[in-house]
Amino acid sequence: MSADAPSLLAVEEVDVQFGGVRAVDDVSFEVPQGQIVSVIGPNGAGKTTLLNTISGVYRPRRGRVLFGGRTISRLKPHRIARLGISRTFQNIALFPGMTVLDNIMLGRHVKMRSNVFTSALYWGRAQRDEVRQREAAEEIIDFLEIPGIRRAPVSALPYGLQKRVELGRALALDPNLLLLDEPMTGMNVDEKEDMARFILDASEEKGITIVLIEHDMGVVMDISDHVVVLDHGKKISEGPPDVVREDRAVITAYLGENLTTRG
């Protein structure tokens, strides 16, 4: 980790247990502001459980999660979202009958200043608020290079574009921290290249700190600043991609010998 970058997220000695199974077992790591940190490991390693703990879906049995120095381990997901943490999911969680624009607009709901009562009393204020949020959603649509499908129902889109829309909805929150749970699963090579580019642009142009779960190790090694490796709920390694690539424990548990020979 860079000594110059302050930590935006800190996971400290976190345990998450379901019955007699420790899905996350005494895991600690930090995510510096502005970096892309990937969490990798075989299926069942506890990666998604860890993201669910950071986002408030699960509460740790022990340990804590800090965001900007504040403990968030006991906060509900909607309160964590309001602090500036957004996420995508392994399985697409969009509203298929709604348009691309409307799905992305839903990501702006925490930014809305008006509610049903103020909308009734102050129509002009509510209308201006709606216009501001729509402009922000349109900017995201342009950023993701999907203006031609803004009015299309999500159900009519191919899988790769649906994943891009889900990223757009997460970006609509204007997050400080973006949690991406396997954003490239099921994509072809070209779609993965596009998604990797958008993730890098979100980090570099928008200054968003990113925690990424991804099984494509080529992508992980190319775009990550730091990699954390889990196996059976435990952290077995962490460091820069080149260091993790050569770690014998990682090779044995997950990556395989052939990754060490890649250029």
Sign of the Cα pseudo-torsion (47, 48, 51, 56, in order): negative
Rg of the chain, C-alpha, whole Å:
19
Which pTM value belongs to this model?
A: 0.88
Identify the CA nearest to 89 among candidates 137, 41, 51, 63.
Answer: 51
* pLDDT value of position 90: 82
Residues forming a β-bridge with 160: none
State the average pLDDT over residues 76-89: 94
CA distance 255 to 263: 15
Q: Report the relative pairing of strands 177-181 and 209-213 from DSSP bridges.
A: parallel
104 has a pLDDT exceeding 70? yes
Q: Which residue has the higher pLDDT, 121 or 161?
A: 161
Q: Which of 12-16, 23-27, 216-220, 238-242 has the lowest mean pLDDT?
A: 216-220
Q: What is the pLDDT of residue 37?
A: 98
- The pLDDT of residue 68: 96
Whether the Cβ atoms of residue 206 and residue 136 lie closer than 8 Å to each other: no
Residue 9 near residue 198, CB atoms below 8 Å:
no
Amino acid at position 167, single letter: L
d(CA 31, CA 152): 37
Paired tokens of 186: 């099921």
Q: Is the pLDDT of residue 258 over 80?
A: no
Q: Is 257 exposed, middle or buried (0-12, 13-18, 19+ CB in 10 A)?
A: exposed
**pLDDT cut 70: percent of the chain above it:** 87
Phi, psi for residue 210 in degrees, rounded to 5: -130, 135
Considering only CA atoms, which of 92, 91, 86 is closest in space to residue 111? Answer: 86
Residue 111: exposed, middle, or buried by beta-carbon count in 10 A (0-12, 13-18, 19+)? middle
Residue 41 is which amino acid? G
Q: What is the mean pLDDT of residues 133-142?
A: 92
Please report the pLDDT score of residue 120 as a whole number. Answer: 45
- Residues counted in the chain: 263
pLDDT at 195: 97
Of 49-53, 203-207, 235-239, 255-259, the poorest mean pLDDT is in: 255-259
Structure tokens at 30: 């930090």
pLDDT reading at 116 higher than 80: no
Question: What percent of the chain has pLDDT above 90?
Answer: 73
Q: What is the average per-residue pLDDT within 76-96?
A: 91
Residues 6+ apart with CB under 8 A from 182: 90, 213, 214, 215
Angle at 73 between CA 68 and CA 74, to 5 degrees: 125
Q: Is the pLDDT of residue 221 over 90?
A: yes
For the chain, which domains are there?
A: 1-84+175-263 (3.40.50.300), 93-174 (3.40.50.300)
The model's pLDDT over 20-67, given as tens digits with 9 standing for 90+, comes to 899 999 999 999 999 999 999 988 899 999 999 999 999 999 999 999
Mean residue pLDDT of the chain comes to 89
Helix (H) or strand (E) holding 86: strand 85-87
Residue 112: the pLDDT is 61
Which residue do the tokens 């009015």 mark? 151
| Burial of 68 from C-beta contacts in 10 A (0-12 / 13-18 / 19+) | middle
pLDDT of the residue at 114: 52
Q: What is the pLDDT of residue 14?
A: 98
Region 103-126: mean pLDDT is: 63
Confidence class of residue 169 from pLDDT cuts 50, 70 and 90? very high
pLDDT (tens digit per residue) in 40-49: 998 889 999 9
Other CB atoms within a 10 A radius of the CB of residue 242 amount to: 9
Query: What is the pLDDT averaged over residues 187-195?
Result: 95
